Amino acid sequence: MHVMTPTAGALLACTALIACGGGDWESVKIEKQAPAASSVRLEGCVVDGAGRPAARAVQALRPDGQLAGTTVSAADGVFRVDVPARAVLRVESLGPSSDGITLMTGETSLSLGGCLRG
């Protein structure tokens, strides 16, 4: 009677898997990764003190105060601006009692979850 130890069984299983997985190495396709985006589209909205859509200037600033993007919201309050990818930015509206938000961009477009008050 032959008894197989767990180690011998594992070695036999590994050998069988290696033998099955050989294949043709020339058929392996290596895909290049797309280059990282240098800018992303940021979308949001601006409302006035009463919560109504407002046409206001909007700016995106880097932590050092350098301007990273600027635009004006439309009459419906919606704005779109291209800003640097992978950056920490302060996005704010310019107007009476304006506010802003600090965010970090990634590599895809993003939309603010709420409106800037300005």
Over residues 33-71, the pLDDT tens digits come to 767 779 999 999 999 989 999 999 999 999 999 999 999
pLDDT digits (tens, 9 = 90+) for 11-35: 666 566 566 655 555 666 667 776 7
- Please say if the pLDDT value at position 87 is more than 70: yes
Architecture of domain 40-110: Sandwich (2.60)
Alpha carbons 40 and 60: distance in angstroms, whole number: 12
Provide the pLDDT confidence category of residue 95 given band limits of 50, 70 and 90.
confident
Domain ranges across the chain: 40-110
Mean pLDDT of all residues in 72-82? 97
Provide the pLDDT confidence category of residue 105 given band limits of 50, 70 and 90.
very high
> Residue 15's pLDDT is what?
62
Q: Sign (positive/negative) of CA torsion 60, 81, 52, 111? A: negative
Alpha carbons 41 and 111: distance in angstroms, whole number: 8
